[in-house]
Amino acid sequence: MSDLSSFSDLALCTELQKTLQTLGYKKPTPIQAKAIPLVLKGEDLLAEAQTGTGKTASFALPIIEKLSQSTASTEYRQIRALVLAPTRELAIQVADNTLEYGRSLNMRVMSIYGGVRVDNQIRKLKRGADIIVATPGRLLDLLQQKVITLKHLEFLVLDEADRMLDLGFIEPIKKIMEFAAEPRQTLLFSATADESIEVLAEFYLNNPKKIKVSPRNSTSNQVKQYAYAVDNSDKADVLSYLIKEGRWGQTLVFVRTKKRVDEVTDYLKKEGIDAASIHGDKTQRERIRMLSEFTSGELQILVATDVAARGLDIESLPHVVNFDLPNVPEAYVHRIGRTGRAGETGEAISLVSPAEREFLNRIEKLIKQKIKLRPVPYIENGRLTESPESLRPPKKKRSKPSRKNKDRYPPQEKYESSISVKAVRPSPFKK
């Protein structure tokens, strides 16, 4: 089914076909071509595909198709489909996309997540919804308060299941499952996979069909990957140099800690670069506003912790920078998956300090690909000079650092809570 030439080859209703045409969808991606027919047949599904390959449409379209075949009350809508997502940003994105797909069929879609007032969400839930997209923590709170029920649930999707395990959501997921109706159709989607994902599937999927459209833990061929050897204290200068001399447009910069994010953002602003930051200490309103400005192209540089590694969908994002390498190699795959999406090309640049060489080795082992560590290139007229004689950007003169603040960007051992400090994800269940 992966050679489908258009969405018209899929058994989707006229309304959905027209919606896809309006949205400019022409040919199904490999994951969509394989998943949609299986979901329409009622199969449970364990799907593995790298980020940016169109996973949302691969489960949202067939679920909307099947829900539209049965009548729903025009007043209160029972929750018939639930999508669990690991982050607020991803929940919002998936809900927005699903709402767009189902608009012509009058599908009521709502996102539920923490970080905002729960009373506003409760008020909206009084009308019910056909499809709920939720983060586990807030959903579990509402279930335990008996604000909503999953007794009428027909479809359950675990989106970015590996990420939910990384964030420690296995216990909330177990409790949510106790509220979910059976039998139901369960779909598990993941960008990366290991034994813990297989165990999760064993417990909650019924004889699932397994599909995989890319090598396990692979990165997209659309993304060119570069690694530059940089002293930790020079990273900010190098980043500014690359952005200015490379004449970069939109760029997503991943930094290890919340404090460090703010420091890097402040530095870029002092350099005259249009930059803003998002991390876990920002309010939900601030995060939504920054993501909106970045997605629309109003903002040039967004500096973030891994809270933004998923849930940010920009078709033409040209650059992703790993200001700090993650100590969990799977996080690297998620980060650079923000570029090279929807058939576009992109570049992923990693600034690697001596202390991070081991992180780079782990990443190479995971993706089964060598990322050559090079000196920072000389840039002329916006073009990189990748010759053996590549020059580092000129270092700015610095006053001798005080003993109290010897390094403005010291190596950090503590990662934001959205990143597991364990290199190997533990099994979600005790066998």
The Cα 308–Cα 162 span in angstroms is 15
User: pLDDT band for position 19 (50/70/90)?
Assistant: very high
In terms of domains, do 302 and 170 share one?
A: no
Residue 422 placed within a domain:
no
User: pLDDT band for position 341 (50/70/90)?
Assistant: low
What does the pLDDT read at residue 226? Answer: 93
Environment class of 416 (CB within 10 Å of its CB; exposed 0-12, middle 13-18, buried 19+): buried
Under DSSP, the state recorded for 100 is H
Specify the amino acid at residue 36: I
In terms of domains, do 182 and 248 share one?
A: no
What is the count of structural domains for the chain?
A: 2
Instruction: Give the rounded percent of residues in the chain with a pLDDT score beyond 90.
Output: 51
**Beta strand ranges found along 205-305 (DSSP E):** 209-212, 223-229, 251-254, 275-278, 301-304
Q: Which residues contact 187 (CB under 8 A, 6 or more apart)?
A: 35, 39, 44, 45, 47, 59, 155, 156, 157, 158
In terms of domains, do 292 and 196 share one?
A: no
pLDDT at 387 over 70: no
Q: Which residues contact 196 (CB under 8 A, 6 or more apart)?
A: 162, 165, 425, 426, 427, 428
In terms of domains, do 77 and 205 share one?
A: yes
The residue from 362, 385, 408 where one domain ends is 385
pTM of the predicted model over 0.85: no
Q: What does the pLDDT look like over 405-419, one tens digit per residue?
A: 444 444 433 333 333
Q: Is the dihedral of CA 91, 222, 21, 191 positive or negative?
A: negative
Determine how many CB atoms are found less than 10 A away from the CB of residue 311. Answer: 21
**Is residue 401 helix, strand or coil?**
coil
The residue from 212, 243, 263 where one domain ends is 212
User: pLDDT band for position 431 (50/70/90)?
Assistant: very low
Q: Which residues contact 191 (CB under 8 A, 6 or more apart)?
A: 48, 49, 50, 51, 160, 162, 163, 333, 334, 337
Beta bridge partners of 81: 131, 155
**Is residue 41 helix, strand or coil?**
coil
Peptide bond into 183 cis (omega under 30): yes
Q: Which residues constitute the domain of residue 18? A: 7-212
Q: What does the pLDDT look like over 86-143, one tens digit per residue?
A: 888 889 989 999 999 999 999 999 999 987 889 999 999 988 999 999 999 999 999 9
In terms of domains, do 262 and 199 share one?
A: no
* CATH number where 120 lies: 3.40.50.300
Q: What CA–CA distances, in Å, run from 139 to 150, 197, 337, 400? A: 11, 22, 27, 52
The Cα 333–Cα 50 span in angstroms is 8
The residue from 368, 385, 402 where one domain ends is 385
The Cα 33–Cα 9 span in angstroms is 9
**Is residue 74 helix, strand or coil?**
coil
